[in-house]
Structure 1
Amino acid sequence: MASGLFALLDDVAAIAKLAAASLDDVGAAAGKAGAKAAGVVVDDTAVTPRYVSGVTPDRELPIIARIARGSLFNKLVILLPAALLLTALLPWAITPLLMLGGAYLCFEGVEKLIEAIGGHDAPDEPNETAQGSAEVEKAMVSGAVRTDFILSAEIMAIALGEVAGRPLLVQLGALAIVALAITIAVYGVVGLIVKMDDIGLHLAQRRARGVRAVGRGLVLAMPRVMSALGAIGVAAMIWVGGGILVHGLEVFRLDAVPHTLHGWSERAAEAFPIAAGLVGWLVTALGSGVVGLVAGGAIAGALHLIPPKGHA
């Protein structure tokens, strides 16, 4: 009896160790995949606040909550099963799809850059004259969720590329953690950003002089913060998209560009041994950004040469 009990305890301990190891694998895979998707996350965070521009303050957080729910649906219900099916049935397609998504990011980033330089507003900016309209709010949320789907697909594809060789349960757990963590982080930060001016106004009305100064500073700083977020988002799209293209070229043994960037990175790191890792990363990031600019510019230029429908 005692020996049977000890054998059972040994089995339980072995199962517990296996479960702990699996959780460690899932956590490590999720962390690595999430880090790879960081650039797209920055863009997602930068893009979303504009969808509540012109909305009454009491509707800002409810709209963001609705967009966040749509984002979770995109990731967990549509993209996660699709990613696992892709791994099981067409694993060779992961890199081409990643490169396709990277090319789209480059194109989108260059298009936003062209709009910023030319002073043109994006065509899907919300209409400020229609505040409070349920129909406009629904359209606003739908547009944001569609944009989120594209960015979420790229996030999940990047994450999938990092865990594709792992066991199915590790892939499932890692992708689910990435989806949840990134959605909570992005829309938590977005909610804080869009309410920061209200927080500033509240602080500016307090009695303490220092607190009032902080509140006024927040109110004055928010337009600059929003502009900076837009610039960071554009840069992140071009850099991440270019990096995905460079990695894809390396996978397909088209080594000229990847080897050139690696060589520049190594030489720069050797020139600055005190900060070798940082310098090497910066050179690689800058090189990826140049690749992204070239690729995105080529795609944008080709599309702009195509005449609109109805024109010869």
Structure 2
Amino acid sequence: MATGLLALLDDVSALVKASAASLDDVPAQVSKTTSKVSGIVIDDTAVTPKYVVGLDPSRELSIIFQIAKKSLINKIIFLSPAALLLGFFAPWAITPILMLGGAYLCYEGYEKVHAMFSKHPGAAAEQGEALKAITPEELEKQRVASAVRTDMILSAEIVAITYSTVAEEILVTQIAVMFSVAIFITVAVYGFVGLIVKADDIGIHLAKEKFSAGTRRIGRGIVRIMPGFLTALGYIGTAAMLWVGADIIAHGIPFTSHALDNLEHSFKQVPALGWLAKAIVSGLGGLALGALIDKIIKLARRLF
């Protein structure tokens, strides 16, 4: 009996040592995963600021916090456990789910591009009338709900890619990496978004007379560049949405995945050019796929 107890203690000790050694590798795994999801992170960062445009400036940080809180809850409470369960019981389902999410991103990206080029003279007035029909509180709730829906798709992609990176690791490492990535990316993205939306207020503060001439120039410069910066960020977010969505779908299909990899490798002398060529092709493919999905949805609405 004593021998059996000692053997059990040896097994427990070995398991603890293995878990500790595995946890030592968590920072490296987190770093590796974060680089893989960088495109989605750019998309999330670029898209979110638009949800506070036109709302009370005093509510901006509160709105960002609400979105960030729900994003973190979705990643930790719902998406990460779901990915772990799917990975254990139905690993074949992860790729199709990723591809469905990618198709949604392509569709939403196409809708944004279509809206940019189909504005008519009465569009602004119509939009103004629509906004007058609801209270600021209702508008805020709508914006938060819309942001959380988009974030849910992006978060699902992040969690799925994170899981695919650690799928061969032990369960302890999988949980540690997925939770670490969820927390790190959420804090980084929404912390930066909060900084972006309050940058003009920071600029106005720095431009006050109590500061030196150099500081005031910096403040005025921030105020001047922010409108253009936010506009550019919106375009970048739309482009990233199309690129990321198409790239996810392409990697779920062997033929297109190999074609994109070959395209990137053909510029191996200039890696940045290869990455750019792949991103452009993916973005155009995402735009075409989004247009096709839009046509299918409109046809389905007519039929049903």
TM-score in terms of structure 1 length = 0.81
Q: Is the 8 A contact 2:103 2:245 kept in 1?
A: yes
Structure 1 equivalent of residue 272 of structure 2:
278
Structure 1 equivalent of residue 282 of structure 2:
288
Structure 2 equivalent of residue 106 of structure 1:
106
**Structure 1 residue 93 displacement after superposition:** 0.8
Secondary structure at the residue paired with 1:268? coil
Q: Is the 8 A contact 2:106 2:246 kept in 1?
A: yes
**Structure 1 residue 27 displacement after superposition:** 2.4
> What is the identity, as a one-letter code, of the residue corresponding to 2:223?
V
**Structure 1 residue 18 displacement after superposition:** 3.7
Structure 1 equivalent of residue 293 of structure 2:
299
The count of corresponding residues between Structure 1 and Structure 2 is 290
**Structure 1 residue 128 displacement after superposition:** 6.8
Structure 2 equivalent of residue 74 of structure 1:
74
CA distance in 2, matches of 1:135, 1:11: 58
Structure 1 equivalent of residue 206 of structure 2:
203
> What is the identity, as a one-letter code, of the residue corresponding to 2:231?
S
> 2:190 pairs with 187, 191, 197, which one?
187
State how 1:24-35 maps to structure 2 within 5 Å. Answer: 24-35=24-35
Which stretch of the first structure deviates more once superposed, 181-190 or 27-36?
Answer: 27-36
**Structure 1 residue 13 displacement after superposition:** 10
CA distance in 1, matches of 2:141, 2:289: 35
> What is the identity, as a one-letter code, of the residue corresponding to 2:109?
G
Which stretch of the first structure deviates more once superposed, 67-76 or 163-172?
Answer: 163-172
Segments of structure 1 that go 5 or more residues without pairing to the other structure are 1-9
Identity %: 50
> What is the identity, as a one-letter code, of the residue corresponding to 2:82?
A
**Structure 1 residue 186 displacement after superposition:** 0.9
> What is the identity, as a one-letter code, of the residue corresponding to 1:87?
G
Give the direction of change, closer, same or farther, for the CA distance of 1:183–1:287 in structure 2 (3 Å limit). same
Secondary structure at the residue paired with 2:199? helix
Deviations 1:50-84 (A, max 9, x none): 22223333222122212211111111111111111
Deviations 1:137-183 (A, max 9, x none): 44443333233222212221222222223222221111111110111
Which stretch of the first structure deviates more once superposed, 12-21 or 41-50?
Answer: 12-21
**Structure 1 residue 225 displacement after superposition:** 0.9
> What is the identity, as a one-letter code, of the residue corresponding to 1:109?
G
Which stretch of the first structure deviates more once superposed, 234-243 or 294-303?
Answer: 294-303
Structure 1 equivalent of residue 4 of structure 2:
none
Q: Is the 8 A contact 1:52 1:63 kept in 2?
A: yes
**Structure 1 residue 308 displacement after superposition:** 5.3
- Confirm whether residue 176 of structure 1 aligns to residue 179 of structure 2: yes
> 2:222 pairs with 201, 214, 218, which one?
218
Which stretch of the first structure deviates more once superposed, 50-59 or 209-218?
Answer: 50-59
Q: Is the 8 A contact 2:19 2:172 kept in 1?
A: no
CA distance in 1, matches of 2:214, 2:63: 33
**Structure 1 residue 203 displacement after superposition:** 1.1
CA distance in 1, matches of 2:15, 2:85: 28
> 1:156 pairs with 155, 159, 163, which one?
159
Which stretch of the first structure deviates more once superposed, 41-50 or 82-91?
Answer: 41-50
Secondary structure at the residue paired with 2:198? helix
Q: Is the 8 A contact 1:37 1:155 kept in 2?
A: yes
Deviations 1:87-125 (A, max 9, x none): 111101111111111121112111111111223889999
Which stretch of the first structure deviates more once superposed, 75-84 or 11-20?
Answer: 11-20
CA distance in 2, matches of 1:20, 1:243: 36
Structure 2 equivalent of residue 4 of structure 1:
none
Q: Is the 8 A contact 1:52 1:60 kept in 2?
A: yes
Give the direction of change, closer, same or farther, for the CA distance of 1:245–1:134 in structure 2 (3 Å limit). closer
Give the direction of change, closer, same or farther, for the CA distance of 1:128–1:299 in structure 2 (3 Å limit). closer
Segments of structure 2 that go 5 or more residues without pairing to the other structure are 1-9
Aligned residues: CA RMSD: 3.1
CA distance in 1, matches of 2:89, 2:193: 37
- Confirm whether residue 48 of structure 1 aligns to residue 48 of structure 2: yes
Deviations 1:167-219 (A, max 9, x none): 22221111111110111011101110111000111111134222222111111
Structure 2 equivalent of residue 244 of structure 1:
248
> What is the identity, as a one-letter code, of the residue corresponding to 2:168?
G
TM-score in terms of structure 2 length = 0.83
CA distance in 1, matches of 2:62, 2:186: 15
Give the direction of change, closer, same or farther, for the CA distance of 1:133–1:115 in structure 2 (3 Å limit). closer
> What is the identity, as a one-letter code, of the residue corresponding to 1:282?
L
CA distance in 2, matches of 1:51, 1:259: 37
**Structure 1 residue 12 displacement after superposition:** 11
